[in-house]
Structure 1
């Protein structure tokens, strides 16, 4: 049998070993490995709480032991230096570490010690379990005790002492305090503080600002919300800043925060001044757990105390409210009695009875409030000089006739305007001061009470009561009651007087009304005539006498209402416009224009029946409302009649004028709901008739509606395109026809539509003109074109820009154009502006002035599409032009054979004009060699068209050089 070094048997030694440390020592001594640096490690909570023998084991040895146990559990090859003595696969592990060169314990020694190590670890585990159960039982009893205290009738100090006793049963807690935290006021209330050494601690119930305890241990508990435990050095290492030590120095300190919903509500602290008494991690966890229950108990206790306090306060409040309520009930009964009396007095004014009966009822009503056996009402005359007594009930006094105003008690009330309560002593005082005269005092009374009656702010009388015998008399409450009654008596007297005055006034009013009625009848007749005239003026046109737009809209609304009730009551609206009326106004003047409009109105009136309405809307716009069946046959028949009515010329100012009209027709059905819709659709049809050549009519249909919507969509698209900068220039060369060399480029507008792709001006220019957006589009185009063509034109070419007629109506057009060239550093001599014949003739003098100013700045002008407008060859010489461009309509016929003679004659005339004026002539629309050859043969030197290149970006022409 193997033995331990002292000669004792190994088995006997192991049987006496009751701790893992003793087993480990026997193992190392028996195997002789202790001197070679071997060690044993074990734990009942592996890999935590590891204990070793010898006690001081290097960290790398512990890591090797942990790794070896982990490798063995994973089925891997463990370190050869480690022998696992016991491993239950969970938490109980023991292993021996023998470094290189160390003699390993024998198999028998290792087997016996492993068995004993397993036994002592199991025993240790069981003892730990028993201790945990005892601790859990103690904790459970403590928690029950805490809960019982929260629900007990103990006062707060007694409860806090009980909590202290409970914590002392769980750990050393001779020195103990509880502090509650008020986050709103940032204060601590040390509700309980017991310390055997620190006798200067905070007083219980005292609110201490947290700033006073700044950087103290309790301050860190509240601010950080984490437990703190240990001696001074350990505590200093646990907080994030310096420590301001407060109170007596302790050997060990343990504090935990009391938390509710993650927020700190207070702190629980125990501390020891006895060396060797240390708190453990388990005790810290236990105190933190108990702190939560103590906080709950304190909150319940405080809540219960607060509830009892509220109950006591509420009971006192209810008692006071009850007293006030009884007083209020008494006052309300008195008020109800007063109110009922006042109502009766007020109702008396509406009774149709004599004044004597009225006064008697008033007396009876006042008698229900106060002692009124002796009662009178005195009234002041209108001039204020006499006092009368229309009603008196008195037991002794008999002299109540009217009297001059003197110095009696009644007059004293009238003079002061206040209620007067006069007893014998007061009466003597008034006699002494001269406020009353003894000659006017009748039978002496023990007490007299008089209250003034008011009309607005003037005292008109007195209501009084008096007592000759009673010792009780009257008091301030009686004064108040009689004053209330006096207000109602005053109102009733005034209503009586008003009723009498009203009766007399009604008689007088009836007489005056009869007289005034006769006068008003005459005035009404005149006013009706004036209103009829004004109504006619408001609803009719002053020039033609026709109904105006308001009149028409009113009848359209009525017709729509009729149609809604009866779908068979259809109607139609004809929108009529005088063609080219502006030319008449501009050439003959507005007086002649007015004469034309009068004759147009007369002729249109002859085209309709009696029920139909002809109206003038504005300017040269008229409308005809037709009602009847069938539609649209009647509408088209009337439209033809209107067109035919103007075949004969009009005689105006000694001139014979041929005038025509265009007509748009809207036939109204059930989908129309407003007059504006009808006018809008008829206007669209009129616009279509004008586009189709004038002197005709058009019926509005769904196609027109869609086209109108397309125009609106296109207009909105143009506005969006300006915002998104979707306009860009393309360039088409202008060349010499003989050799095809490029002289310049025409900048052509293009719209890169996000859905429809690249659009030419023909797709949107009309809408841009009508909507007024063309100016903004032109200037955006000018900017992009000049910026893109600076390199393209160089020093020997030019670029042409097409200019809208609207821009020439702006006085600052030339200034703005020159500013643009300066901004873009573009040579003005390389720029030519293309204008149409309509632009030149719109305001010739203004256009000539602008073109001259531009020429002075080296910007030349070109006349575009020559031959398609209203000008003649003789007008061109008036304008400073550098170039004339022959419209493509004259070049197109040259594509075939024989050559079209009319086009040839026009082109030859233009070429001759250009030679005579020294103006360059450019033929547009050249697409074939035949056209080029023909034009060269006629003497045309310059041209433009698809034959020489289609419009393309500037980059294309730069790349093709």
Structure 2
């Protein structure tokens, strides 16, 4: 709605009353009522929302159905896009805040197009925007209050989980917390045991249910299979609603048990995809219903309640474990007190055993070893009479290597018989023998009196005898024994236990001494074996060196062609550079080549054919060089040839020519005859080549130039190529500086109405106002800008300047067009950036059009279509540039939202004198197509009056070309419109020939 240009009259009493009513209105309905009263109109329908088009409210209530709201949304979108029917004054867009509130009225009778009515609507719209903004703020405050309430509830749950409250008190506290978030007078918590497939209701409060399940009792899941609690656990998803609504949500037939609620809400308590229980609230009160927000809130709280229950259960288990552990420690303490008396004895025994173990490593003789063992045993018990008996290796004779008893220091060997020593060895257990035990053994035939201990064979003179077997694993080595001839010196079971420990240690020590002796012999044998093994290892080392040589060859060579690889070539180049530093007169050359159109062979015939081509090329390259030159495959279809001796550049060029001629011969690959060629870059060694990469870079630069020159040729790197590469780098730095200095500016070329020459718009074209080289056209810098990635930044700088400068040129319904390249459509935020730019520059989007080429539409049609539709909704139209030169021009005209077609200059050149029937037919067909689709048409490249008149006769309305004006700065066209001479710099013109086509940015 346009503001009334006439001066505002003084406020009348009616207007003052209207404004007072607006100020008193605090809701959208009140604002609408005040406006309708002031307009004297009746309302057909009203729609408003603080977040249009979400949550649209309506007046009256019957106007709020989905179709009516959809029509209101379309009406607002159409008015935003400027497509609303001006004659339909029944619709009033009261307020429209993009991204905020909007309000639309539909009156029963049209609104009078008077300044007073417009002022009333404008003032009411301002008040409506304030009211809607207030509603947004209130909604935000309510949302924050809910979030704060939920946060306090979660903190309370965490506090309860960490408290020392008993279980009933904790569960009542959880009930109170849930009741603070929603209606929860009736509430229960159920836990599910997956292992036993059972349910346990740990808390249950229900004001109506007389059949409530028992708390803290396990119920089989089968009892609840067709009930709501069973479905909540089995289906593992929330359930909410009345009984009929719940029947539609569960996965089977539903059986209602207990009181039937008005509304029921349950959520499962889950962890890692497993259901551990559920929370349920229900209402028996009419009008108290649960919402989706309650369901989401209860589901969120359920996870924290589950955590609280698990923490509480873990706390109880920990307390129970501590009690059990305390009892165990008490029992252990009693046992330790009982064992204190044994500790000192055990320590003494342990020290003795360590001494015996240490004796095993002594280098002294056996006699000294046995004597020291006797001394250690004597420190543990009475051992004045002590001996050791051992079986020989054949186990046929019992020998006594150490014997001290009854004044005797030796006892002759004997065959094993029925003595006390043999008895202990047979029993494999210690034996404590006194006089009665001795007589009992004799009577049972276990021992013979003639083999009794003591100096006399007539009978035992010993008062007490104690012996223990010497055991090593399952083998009996012999026995150790002590004996007493005195009444005051006897032995008991404790002494028997001590001697048993000592016997084990003596047996181990004896075995270690025997092992040490055997080890000496083994060492002698091992030395001989080491010598033999050394000879074997020498032979294996020779074999390994051969394998390493083979592996080195595999690492340094290409597995497909067998040629050296990049690693090998870099090593050879490094050695060549090192040799050049020592002998500057020795020059070498590097030929860098790749197979032309190799990707086509791979894509059409497959990789096997490509591998065959590479193998054949490798074989032919080897025939073109001689020793010590090197041919290597670097990667893919890239090869390198290192020529070690190159006294002059002609040597390298002859080799390159020979390679080209060799590769041109036909080759048979996969049953097909193929012709191949290559592009070669040559770099001759130079003192500036201090590294391998420097030489490779020069050769690669020459290769790039050879490919750009048409392939199947070689190029020798020289200073001009180096300067060209440096020029590109210099241009890139200047482009970056120019961007920072905002040296890129738009030049404007007019679009003319052919009937009277009036200007209908301008096309903005980029120019670089270089501080040294003057004004540069896109052809002078755009290629480098594309390669270094600065083109988008240049485009947006030019778009921004075009909006600022173009505003000064626009009159009436004129517009500005800008060229948008395909790379901008790769980001789906193009429309948002365009709108942000127009808002920043205060440029009317309806006066801006973007020009796209058919190549842009081809790259990603779906994405481009989406962006163009959004731009059209924002009132920015699109024009199809160079129409008629693409592959499927007609297919784009109806698929994409286009406003204008620009006929390519190639169809305009032939118009005029002479036979132009073909061009006339094409141009006429384009005009007819555009007219049928309601599209505007602009003919590009009009350079002669004959072309101008021919287009007028065919009905073309608009044109563009050097006949009407060359691209100039905005100041030129402003001075021309004011009747002044053009002071700003002119667009450079070509010296001769037709006007060139303007490059697109």
Q: Shorter-chain TM-score: what band?
A: 0.3 to 0.5
Whichever of the two has the greater Rg, that structure is: 1
TM-score, length of structure 2 as denominator length: 0.41
